[in-house]
Amino acid sequence: MLTSEQSIVEYRGGRAVPDRLTQGTHRHYRDYAERMLAVYRNGAGRQRRSLHKQIEAIFADEANCPVRRIQAFCKLLDDASVYEADSAGKAAKLRLEVFSRAARFHPLVQTSDRLFEHQESQAKTKLAEELAAPWDQIERTLYADVMAFQQLESFPGYSDATAFLSRYNVAQLQGALYRAETITVTATRDLKTIVRYAKLARLLHEIERLGPSEGVQPPDERKLVRGTPPTAYRITFSGPASVLHETRRYGVNFARFLPALLACKGWKLTAILQTPWKTAAKLIISDADRFTSHLPAPEEFDSGLEESFANKFGTTREGWRLIREGDILHEHQATFIPDFTFRHEDGTEVFLEIVGFWTPEYLEQKRKTLHRFRKHRILLAVPQSSLREDAAIADNVIVYKTALKLELLLAALEAARGRHGV
């Protein structure tokens, strides 16, 4: 994800327009992209700051390229690179050793004379002998813990210039959405895929069905007759700018969700962004805008909490089977897709919803949703940090600190099973 300094957004008449390179206006950028990729493909062993200077030089004669765009290119190239790391802290130790030994030569000069006798080249030779390593090797290691001085090991990079420029467009869109207070996605297709990715990213969201009336199940799109409109759903997300805690991490999670949305069909996104002037601006995009997703094959979980829990529970336990693919529940126009479904061997079904990120408003809305779906057996797992000291804990609520405890879950499953007359 780009930093705020690399994000470029224009505000026109209440609308937010992220920077986007188009085939019509920026056709010549393809050549720039090829040259940038070549710098990194041939840059093994070079320092990050040197690579950045080469990228800047490519745009020396380009009048219509703001500095932030060049910085964004460098960030995206770095993100696709592998740099030497100094995880053991050798650079700091080496600096202390070199500077301590070099103190006796202070001050160093390029050419010695009667007043200043210590020549820089001779001092380096002496230090290299004492440390039993060539000076160029010492110099490469001396600041290996400073990003600008890190050396490029390899560049897995981008497949071609088109992929790189497409990634830039998506990255600018991600950067703009980091300022979002609320985000609404209207979906007529791929609902379960969109919601699945939203849940993997632990995004705060509510789903509402806009299509068929109460009692009518949404049609299977593969069986739709020609001319029958598909069911529409509205998914409302809390934006990164609305989250009280861990705003940065939530924003990164939303940035990771966006490419998944771009890979789907039949959706429209409307976001309300905070502007630098503390006003609101609207950003609207849809699948018709043809942003290209760089999405890799998704991991089954993006949440360590969920992964740990599912691994501990296993496929079956004490008569309960864990089903990871959530069902779509409907009540009036409201829609609810829980994180997990548990099916007992006697046929009883209990659903589990895990809350990660939260706001007071989101928790209140979640309580209302659960009340609306009260005829279903639904358990809610909430972080202890979200509860007041004097909060009353409902029977269907499981409180956790960092991980869900199986004994608490199993007890809650059996209690839910018993409450419904099983």
pLDDT value at 409 more than 90: no
Please tell me whether the overall predicted TM-score, pTM, comes out greater than 0.75 for this model. no
> Could you give the count of Cα atoms lying within 13 Å of 152 in the half-sphere of its Cβ?
23
pLDDT value at 280 more than 80: yes
pLDDT value at 167 more than 60: yes
| Helix 29-41 vs helix 48-58: crossing angle, to nearest 10 | 160
pLDDT of residue 293: 83
Whose structure tokens read 């290209």?
A: 292
SS (H, E, C) the chain: CCCCCCCCEEEECCEEEECCCCCCCCCCHHHHHHHHHHHHHCCCCCEHHHHHHHHHHHCCCCCCCCHHHHHHHHHHHHHCCEECCCCCCHHHHHHHHHHHHHHHHCCCECCCCCCCCCEHHHHHHHHHHHHCCCHHHHHHHHCCCCHHHCEEEECCCCCCHHHHHHHHHHHHHHHHHCCEEEEEEEECCCHHHHHHHHHHCCCCEEEEECCCCCCCCCCCHHHCCCCCCCCCEEEEEECHHHCCCCHHHHHHHHHHHHHHHHCCCCEEEEEEEECCCCCEEEEEEEHHHCCCCCCCCCCCCCCHHHHHHHHHHCCEECCEEEECCCCCEEECCEEECCCEEEEECCCCEEEEEECCCCCHHHHHHHHHHHHHCCCCCEEEEEEHHHCCCCCCCCCCEEEECCCCCHHHHHHHHHHHHHHCCC
pLDDT of residue 61: 93
Q: How confident is the model at residue 87 (pLDDT cuts 50, 70, 90)?
A: low
pLDDT of residue 103: 87
At residue 285, φ and ψ (nearest 5 deg) are -140, 165
> Mean of the pLDDT values across residues 381-386?
78
Tokens encoding 316: 């079956």
pLDDT of residue 105: 83
Q: How confident is the model at residue 183 (pLDDT cuts 50, 70, 90)?
A: very high
Q: Residues of the chain with pLDDT > 70: what percent?
A: 86
Q: How confident is the model at residue 225 (pLDDT cuts 50, 70, 90)?
A: very low
pLDDT value at 68 more than 50: yes
**Amino acid in the structure at residue 12:** R
Report which listed range, 281-295, 317-331, 391-405, is most confident: 281-295
pLDDT value at 392 more than 70: no
pLDDT of residue 304: 59
Q: Is 175 exposed, middle or buried (0-12, 13-18, 19+ CB in 10 A)?
A: buried
Q: How confident is the model at residue 231 (pLDDT cuts 50, 70, 90)?
A: confident
> Mean of the pLDDT values across residues 351-356?
80
What residues contact 405, with CB distance under 8 A and at least 6 apart? none
Whether CATH 3.40.1350 fits 304-419: yes
Q: Residues of the chain with pLDDT > 90: what percent?
A: 31
Task: Among 1.10.3300, 3.30.70, 3.30.310, 2.40.128, name the CATH number for the domain at 178-298.
Answer: 3.30.70
pLDDT of residue 216: 34
CA gap 32, 408 in Å, rounded: 58
**Contact between 75 and 3 (Cβ < 8 Å):** yes
What residues contact 200, with CB distance under 8 A and at least 6 apart? 257, 298, 299, 301, 302, 303
pLDDT value at 190 more than 90: no
How do the domains of the chain map onto residue ranges?
1-9+19-84+152-166, 90-149, 178-298, 304-419
pLDDT value at 241 more than 50: yes
Q: How confident is the model at residue 295 (pLDDT cuts 50, 70, 90)?
A: low
178-298 with 304-419: one CATH topology? no
pLDDT value at 347 more than 60: yes
Round the average pLDDT of the chain to a whole number and report it.
Answer: 83
**Contact between 346 and 337 (Cβ < 8 Å):** no
CA gap 93, 132 in Å, rounded: 15
pLDDT of residue 282: 96
The least confident of 38-42, 73-77, 262-266, 328-332 is: 328-332
pLDDT value at 20 more than 90: yes
> Mean of the pLDDT values across residues 78-96?
85
**Contact between 210 and 233 (Cβ < 8 Å):** yes
pLDDT value at 97 more than 50: yes
**Contact between 244 and 261 (Cβ < 8 Å):** no
Tokens encoding 5: 């300094």
CA gap 90, 296 in Å, rounded: 35
pLDDT value at 214 more than 50: no
pLDDT value at 224 more than 60: no
The least confident of 184-193, 217-226, 282-291 is: 217-226
> Mean of the pLDDT values across residues 391-403?
76
pLDDT value at 300 more than 50: no
